[in-house]
Amino acid sequence: MPKAPTFDELLFSLKSFAASMLALYIAFGMGLPRPFWAMLTAYVVSSPLSGTVRSKAVFRVVGTVIGCIVSLVLTVELINAPELLTLAVALWVGGCLFISLLDRTPRSYTFMLAGYTAGLIVFPGVANPEAIFDTGLARVEEIILGIVCATVVHSVVLPRGLGPVLLTRLDAALRDAERWTLDALDGAGADARLRDRHKMATDLTELRVMTTHLPYDTSDLRWMTRPMRALQDRMAYLLPVLTAVQDRLNALGRPDGTMSPHSGSDGRLSDGLATVLEEVRNWIVAGAAAQSTEAGRLIDRLDRLAADEGPDLADGWRGATRFSLIHRLRALVEIHRDCRELRAHVASGNRSLPDRLDPLARKRSRGVFHVDRGMALWSAAAAVLGITIVGGFWILTGWSSGSAAAMMVAVFTCFFASFDDPVPGIRLFLVYTLASLPLSAFYLLVVLPSFDSFPMLVLCLAPTLLTLGVFVARPAVMGKAMALIFGVGGSLSLLDTGNGDFASFLNSSTGQIVGIVTAMLVTRMCRSVGAAWSARRLLHAGWREIADLAAVSAKDRSVPSADGFESRMLDRVGLLSVRLAQATGSVDVDAIDAVRDLRVGLNVVELQRVRPTLGQEAGPALERILRGVAGHFRALSAKRPDPAPAELLESMDDLLSAIGAALPCPERDRAAVALASLRRSLFPDAVLGNLRPPNEMVPLQRVRA
């Protein structure tokens, strides 16, 4: 039994209905040829959060105008060659869809709308090409009218701002981060750690996407976009840093004497490090109630501890790993300190950033997300193929409703293209479009012909649209409700052309169904994939990028940047988490650790940065390591899941010895930390033993490139 609607659901339904009726009334008053298109557009662009409506409105308008201009040009130039016109529209829709899928921000709506708007104008307009300008202008006016009415109503009438929702998500993510930190310091089990990191990655991806709408929000939080983005940037660093701390503690042992099978001889941390570790834990537990100066004191303690111990290479890899742990603990404290301070800035309405974070915020990459050009290309191919097939059938048969089928193919190959498998979504729309036919026929053929005034029309539509609007506000059933609204609204548009009879209704409905079925079939044939397949593709994309980072030559003056790589990898971790949950056993989860891959890439970037300062002694060993890492991840991306070559361990011994012989400097310390981290990521089971004596170093000719 459906649950009773909440206040927010009722409010959204009332506002959506009011916006659609306002658009319909103005369209009637302007004498537009298809006013019900304006009504339907108002529902399409409505959203429970007013910020998302506003953020997409401008891009939707721009996309609609571009699509109209292109449709006019194509029709005028190719109206006498229907085959070429169909192919040109198909290529335009596919090209715009391809670009849209490469941009995972609100800007993507510009390209998607520019694509299928051309189909919405060209295909119905070929029957009367002399009036194509008037037809295109009318379509733009109707669509823009619906967009503007929905934006105004949702922004002015009891707007539900994005800000409170975003702050709630942000605070939950910060609490999750502190809980995960405590789990890591307390030695939580592997299952809990994996669950925590996947949750954190998913939270970060959702926050980044929501923040893209923040400048358009109706709440006061829209002025806090800069500190919100800086806060998310700092949270992003927490994922690799905290997994590194977990790994070092497991390798070295814990303050309570818990042994690790690979920790070495004693399995205990030094007293000084154990004390600082406990102080860090207590500071995390204190949360926002901790004194602001406590973080600075902890950082000073860790700096002194690092200066006292240094990368103690006399203790071999254990000393380097301990030094790495100190540095990662320092980074962990800095991140939590910055997150708390930035959250306080947001709460107080302070738009400025702390001085130490302002230069970082200026250099950070904005909106860097994972993109899959291959899948975007296959999605575009599905759109081109579907439009071409339907257009060819239309041309050969002269079918009167061929334009409706072609429009539906253009729309539905675009709507669900961002899904791994768009077919279930298209099929759902098909089922509920069929379910809407009796209701549509009742409205079109029985109810509406009886009324001749706008108030009576509103009263007639209110029961159906208000009820469906409640379900649109529920994410679980939104697709079903929108399909019913599409079915009813599409049928009502027949009244605009004076074709509100049974024959026209049957032909138009048949055209819609044929178009949706064609879109479903070509999508299944071209790019329908499962969650497991997408998960593997995400992993392979990360592996290829790591191989490219490691393959940068010492002669190349461009030093790799960690920012873009980190943002993309964090995005992949979040996307991967969702797909692993959907894969339900068809993927070997134990073999997947995208966060480890993220750490490998960051450490490779760090070694590339310090390479010029390490001197000639370290150069050959570092070159062998980078070549080995590049070869290993290229092999992984080529679907050859071999373990990292054992020769890399020997090259790492050589490099650590060369680093130990170098004069103390910050670059040497950074190299030691990155090298120890890289070794732990690639060889987690390697014993933290001493280095081999110099006379046992491996000659260059014995190392496989």
Spatial CB neighbours of 257, under 8 Å, sequence gap ≥ 6: 267, 268
CA distance 614 to 368: 31
390 pLDDT band, cuts 50/70/90, is very high
Mean pLDDT score, 388-406 = 90
Closest CA to 350 of 220, 528, 440, 518: 220
Mean pLDDT score, 494-498 = 60
Q: What is the pLDDT of residue 118?
A: 93
Q: Which of 549 and 593 is assigned the larger pLDDT?
A: 549
Contact call for residues 686 and 649 (beta carbons, < 8 A): yes
Closest CA to 38 of 121, 143, 117, 150: 143
Q: In the predicted model, is pLDDT for residue 422 greater than 70?
A: yes
Closest CA to 395 of 91, 140, 78, 69: 78
Q: What is the pLDDT of residue 205?
A: 72
> Which range (321-330, 400-409, 523-532, 612-621) has the least confidence?
612-621
Q: What is the pLDDT of residue 15?
A: 95
CA distance 254 to 552: 38
Q: Which amino acid is at 518?
A: T
Q: Which of 137 and 528 is assigned the larger pLDDT?
A: 137
Q: What is the pLDDT of residue 221?
A: 80
Mean pLDDT score, 91-100 = 95
CA distance 93 to 99: 10
259 pLDDT band, cuts 50/70/90, is very low
315 pLDDT band, cuts 50/70/90, is low
Mean pLDDT score, 58-81 = 91
Q: How many residues does the chain have?
A: 705
What are φ and ψ of residue 254, in 5° steps? Answer: -120, 165
590 pLDDT band, cuts 50/70/90, is very low
561-587: burial string, b at 16+ Cβ within 10 Å, e else:
ebbebbbbbbbbbbbbbbbbebbeeeb
CA angle 52, 55, 61 (to 5 degrees): 120
Q: What is the pLDDT of residue 2?
A: 64
Most confident of 30-39, 526-535, 612-621: 30-39
Mean pLDDT score, 646-673 = 81
Cα dist from 478 to 12, 16, 328, 413, 428, whole Å: 13, 14, 45, 19, 11
> Which range (76-80, 452-456, 480-484, 529-533) has the least confidence?
529-533
Q: Which of 149 and 613 is assigned the larger pLDDT?
A: 149
For the entire predicted model, the pTM comes to 0.80
Q: What is the pLDDT of residue 261?
A: 39
Q: Output the average pLDDT for the chain.
A: 81
Q: In the predicted model, is pLDDT for residue 144 greater than 80?
A: yes
Q: What is the pLDDT of residue 647?
A: 83
Report the phi/psi class of residue 369: left, alpha or beta, with left for phi > 0 and alpha for psi in -120 to 50.
beta
84 pLDDT band, cuts 50/70/90, is very high
Q: In the predicted model, is pLDDT for residue 419 greater than 90?
A: no
Q: In the predicted model, is pLDDT for residue 77 greater than 70?
A: yes
262 pLDDT band, cuts 50/70/90, is very low
Q: What is the pLDDT of residue 697?
A: 40
Mean pLDDT score, 581-603 = 65
Q: What is the pLDDT of residue 190?
A: 64
Mean pLDDT score, 210-238 = 80
Q: What is the pLDDT of residue 104?
A: 77
Q: What is the pLDDT of residue 18?
A: 96
Mean pLDDT score, 657-667 = 75
Mean pLDDT score, 503-509 = 84
In the block, residue with structure tokens 């971790």: 573
60 pLDDT band, cuts 50/70/90, is confident
> Which range (5-19, 107-121, 367-381) has the least confidence?
367-381
Report the percent of the chain where pLDDT is more than 90.
Answer: 26
What are φ and ψ of residue 684, in 5° steps? Answer: -65, -20
Greatest alpha-carbon pair distance for the chain in Å reads 100
Report the phi/psi class of residue 614: left, alpha or beta, with left for phi > 0 and alpha for psi in -120 to 50.
alpha
> Which range (267-271, 474-478, 557-561, 569-573) has the least confidence?
557-561
Q: What is the pLDDT of residue 514?
A: 93
- Alpha helical stretches, state H, 528-611: 531-550, 562-583, 594-610
Q: What is the pLDDT of residue 698?
A: 37
Q: What is the pLDDT of residue 384?
A: 96
Contact call for residues 117 and 68 (beta carbons, < 8 A): yes
563 pLDDT band, cuts 50/70/90, is low
